[in-house]
Amino acid sequence: MTWPADYHMHTPLCLHATGQPVEYAARAVEVGLTEIGFSDHSPMRQDDFDNWRMKFSELDGYVEAVRQAQRDFPSLVIRLGLEVDYLPGQEDWIRELAARHPWDYFIGSVHYVSGGWDIDNPAKLSRWTGLDVYEVWTDYFERLTLAASSGLFQIIGHADLPKKFGHRPDRDCAPLFERFLNGALKGGAAIELNTAGLRKDCREIYPGPELLRRAAEKRVPITFGSDAHAPGDVGASFAGVVQLARAAGHTHWRRWTQRQAATVAL
Ligand code: ZN
Ligand code: FE
Ligand code: FE
Ligand code: ZN
């Protein structure tokens, strides 16, 4: 079979990934992928915002490293993207980034919830203590819904990231999921099936089966991503995740070329 594209991979510029884009590309060819895309953590307006992303001055070098991989692997389709943090109020900055290069797509990800807390950061795991898990999920999904409906992003990354360390609400999340998916339809965003969750404590792809099924029902398009932070992660668990997507009712995935969508049979 032809694999869907792996649209989520990082580079050492984010300070927590290893391997150059050419090494990810080589691995992609090795595992039989025909299309990939880079989506490293985008710079913030302030370079000292946190310590897990490229600096603004490194953005052009990032693009050049992706171009180098494109030149070295002409038989592999390599897209140029970014994983962009969505925080309310950052819209102008995101538009400035968008205007700087002919990006194929932006993955909009929410890592930060209220209070400046990056919920997936293992160094901040203790912040969960004493919190109502459902309230954190609600806060997170409110931001994710804003991101999805903003029109700034072609793809929404790892849609239920708060489960990373196993924090799952015991209340019904359907209303959160429905609002988010309606936002994705409004904003023209696909949602990403991200296999990194399988490698975390939650042991499940992002997003989980219920959100995935609701997305299929509402015909919200999907993409796939390994969220590779090392070349060996490229295409990780793709056989399983494609099966999962089909079982949830998805029949197509979305290809992005300079932010134009195409629909490809799964
Ligand atoms: Zn990362
Ligand atoms: Fe992320
Ligand atoms: Fe990522
Ligand atoms: Zn990510």
Q: Which CATH architecture has domain 12-265?
A: Alpha-Beta Barrel (3.20)
Section 18-28 average pLDDT: 98
The pLDDT of residue 169? 97
Which ligand has an atom closest to residue 50 CA? 1
What pTM value is reported for the model?
Answer: 0.98
Evaluate if residue 209 carries a pLDDT over 90: yes
Ligand 4 centre to CA of 158 (Å) is 7
Q: For residue 112, how far is its CA from the centre of ligand 3 (angstroms)? A: 14
At residue 99 the predicted structure's pLDDT band, cuts being 50, 70 and 90, is: very high
Arithmetic mean of pLDDT over the chain: 98
Ligand 4 midpoint to CA 248 (Å): 23
- Mean pLDDT within 157-175: 98
What one-letter code names the amino acid at 13? L
66 CA distance to ligand 1 centroid (A)?
17
Does residue 33 carry a pLDDT above 90? yes
> Is residue 1's pLDDT more than 90?
no
Reduced 3-state DSSP string for the chain = CCCCCECCECCHHHCCCCCCHHHHHHHHHHHCCCEEEEEEECCCCCCCCCCCCCCHHHHHHHHHHHHHHHHHCCCCEEEEEEEEECCCCCHHHHHHHHHHCCCCEEEEECCEECCCEECCCHHHHHHHCCCCHHHHHHHHHHHHHHHHHCCCCCEECCCCHHHCCCCCCCCCCHHHHHHHHHHHHHHCCEEEEEHHHHHCCCCCCECCHHHHHHHHHCCCCEEEECCECCHHHCCCCHHHHHHHHHHCCCCEEEEEECCEEEEEEC
Q: Position 175: which residue type?
A: P
pLDDT band at 192 (very low <50, low <70, confident <90, very high): very high
Provide the pLDDT for residue 97.
98
Average pLDDT over residues 83-98: 97
pLDDT beyond 90 at 163: yes
Question: b/e string for 33-43 if b means 16 or more Cβ within 10 A?
Answer: bebbbbbbbbb
Q: What pLDDT shows up at residue 90?
A: 96
Q: How far is the CA of 221 from the centre of ligand 2 (A)?
A: 19
Q: How confident is the model at residue 221 (pLDDT cuts 50, 70, 90)?
A: very high
Residues, CB within 5 angstroms of ligand 3 (ion): 83, 227
Question: What residues contact 258, with CB distance under 8 A and at least 6 apart?
Answer: 102, 103, 104
Q: Ligand 4: distance of its center to the CA of 216 in Å?
A: 22
pLDDT above 70 as % of the chain = 100
Sorting pLDDT into bands at 50, 70 and 90, what band is 120?
Answer: very high
For residue 161, what pLDDT is reported?
98
Each residue's pLDDT tens digit, 124-145: 999 999 999 999 999 999 999 9
Q: What phi, psi does 229 have (nearest 5°)?
A: -110, 10
